[in-house]
Amino acid sequence: MFDFLCRQYETAGFKNEWQLHHQGGPTGYTTRDCIATPNDSAKLVPSQALAWNPSITGTKSEDTIIITDNESIVVTAP
> pLDDT tens across 13-33, in order?
999 999 998 888 877 767 788
What's the CA dihedral at 71, 52, 15, 19 to 10 degrees?
-150
Name 56's Cβ contacts closer than 8 Å, sequence gap at least 6. 9, 14, 17
pLDDT attached to residue 40: 85
pLDDT attached to residue 2: 85
Name 30's Cβ contacts closer than 8 Å, sequence gap at least 6. none
How many structural domains compose the chain? Answer: 1
Q: Closest by alpha carbon to 69, among 45, 52, 40, 49?
A: 45
Distances (CA, A) of 61 to 38, 41, 78: 20, 24, 9
> What is the domain range of residue 63?
2-74
pTM of the complete model: 0.60
pLDDT digits (tens, 9 = 90+) for 32-73: 888 888 888 888 899 998 888 888 999 988 889 999 999 989
